[in-house]
Amino acid sequence: MPIFDPSVIPLSESDLPTPAFIAEVNNVIDRLRATHIPLLPLGIGVDRTANMIRTYMHAHLRRCLEFVDAGYAEYRAGRSLVTEACARTTYENVASFCDFADTIVPLVRAGDQQKIHQYLDNAAFSTRIPSFLEKHGNDLSAKNILTQIDKMKKRYPGFREAYDHLSDFVHPNALGAIVHFVSIDNGVATFHDTGRNDGWAISGLIAGCFMLAFVEVAISQVEQAIEGMLKAASDGASPLSEA
User: For the chain, how far is it from start to end, CA to CA, in angstroms?
Assistant: 41
Q: What is the per-residue pLDDT across 152-184, written as a single tens digit (0 to 9) for each?
A: 999 999 999 999 999 999 999 988 899 999 999
Q: Is the pLDDT of residue 238 over 60?
A: no
The backbone region for 109, taken as left when phi is positive above 0, alpha when psi lies in -120 to 50, beta otherwise, is alpha
Give me the residue spans of the domains in the chain. 19-235
Return the H-helix or E-strand segment holding 209.
helix 198-210
**What average pLDDT does the structure give for the chain?**
89
